């Protein structure tokens, strides 16, 4: 079969995108590693991600030690609990966004819809991810924090193992749409 005949076309709303099919063997070759970012660009992106996670993680702990000074300066000590309660409200909103857009991803009728729904799902998921970690800073005593954060980290690691297995099983024996419903 010639290379021209093996090209698949995917119709999008704006036009046609032609891509050659990829075999599993082709994806596993060392040449496929060239698609990853390397060098300075990788280090800068990595630094940006680590700094952003660091800042989000540090936010609650830095405020908890400064809440009295903040209240003295701005007044309204009786309202200062909202500095932390706001995270719980935001967590619930983010979880709702993630859940609603997960369902919409499963119902998507076009690739553009799926991409847009995934973007919105990511907003909710990113909020949940950050806020779960921050909420533990307020929920448990500092001495118990390592044990609880170990549970969170273990759950994250377990999800990285179960996710591909579950996704592969679902798509092989059913519809890809179910991966968004299962979540």
**Nearest CA among 73, 72, 88 for reference residue 138:** 88
The sign of the torsion formed by the CA atoms of 36, 40, 43, 47 equals negative
pLDDT of residue 41: 86
How is residue 137 written in tokens? Answer: 């800073």
Q: Write down the pLDDT at residue 175.
A: 87
In a domain, 44, yes or no: yes
Calpha distance 65→82 (Å, rounded): 15
pLDDT at 9: 42
Question: Which of 5-14, 89-98, 156-165 comes out lowest in average pLDDT?
Answer: 5-14
Distance CA 83, CA 25 (A): 52
Please state, in angstroms and rounded to a whole number, the distance separating the CA atoms of residues 9 and 80.
Answer: 57
Per the structure, the count of domains in the chain is 1
Of 6-15, 63-72, 139-148, give the lowest mean pLDDT range.
Answer: 6-15
Question: How many CA atoms does the CB half-sphere of 163 hold within 13 Å?
Answer: 8
Can you tell me the distance from the alpha carbon of 95 to that of 107, in angstroms, rounded to the nearest whole number? 19
Tens digits of residue pLDDT in 142-158: 778 888 888 888 887 88
**Sign of the dihedral through C-alpha 108, 111, 117, 123:** positive
Residue 44 predicted with pLDDT over 70: yes
3-state DSSP assignment of residue 147: helix
Distance CA 158, CA 134 (A): 20
Are the beta carbons of 37 and 45 closer than 8 angstroms?
yes
**Inside any domain, residue 60:** yes
Residue at 120 is within a domain: yes
CB 97 within 8 A of CB 127: yes
Q: What is the mean pLDDT of the chain?
A: 77
Query: Which percentage of the chain shows pLDDT scores above 90?
Result: 17
Q: What is the pTM of this model?
A: 0.61
Split at pLDDT 50, 70, 90, the class of 19 is very low
pLDDT band at 81 (very low <50, low <70, confident <90, very high): confident
105 falls within a domain: yes
Residue 1's SS3 state is coil
Domain that holds residue 57: 35-140
Q: Does 3 have pLDDT greater than 60? A: no
pLDDT band at 70 (very low <50, low <70, confident <90, very high): confident
Paired strand residues for 8: 19
Give a yes or no: residue 174 inside a domain.
no
52 domain residue, yes or no: yes
């Amino acid at each position: 079969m010639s290379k021209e005949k093996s090209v698949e076309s995917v119709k999008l709303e704006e036009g046609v995108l032609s891509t050659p099919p990829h075999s599993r063997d082709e994806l596993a070759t060392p040449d496929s590693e060239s698609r990853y970012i390397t060098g300075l660009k990788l280090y800068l992106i990595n630094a940006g991600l680590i700094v952003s996670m660091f800042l989000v993680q540090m936010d609650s702990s830095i405020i908890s030690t400064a809440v009295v000074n903040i209240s003295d300066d701005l007044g309204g000590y009786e309202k200062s609990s909202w500095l932390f309660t706001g995270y719980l409200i935001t967590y619930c909103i983010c979880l709702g966004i993630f859940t609603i857009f997960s369902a919409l991803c499963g119902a998507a009728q076009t690739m553009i819809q799926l991409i847009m729904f995934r973007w919105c799902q990511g907003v909710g998921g990113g909020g949940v991810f950050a806020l779960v970690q921050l909420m533990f800073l307020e929920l448990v005593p500092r001495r118990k924090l390592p044990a609880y954060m170990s549970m969170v980290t273990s759950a994250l690691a377990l999800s990285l193992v179960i996710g591909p297995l579950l996704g592969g099983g679902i798509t092989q024996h059913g519809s890809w749409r179910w991966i968004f419903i299962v979540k």
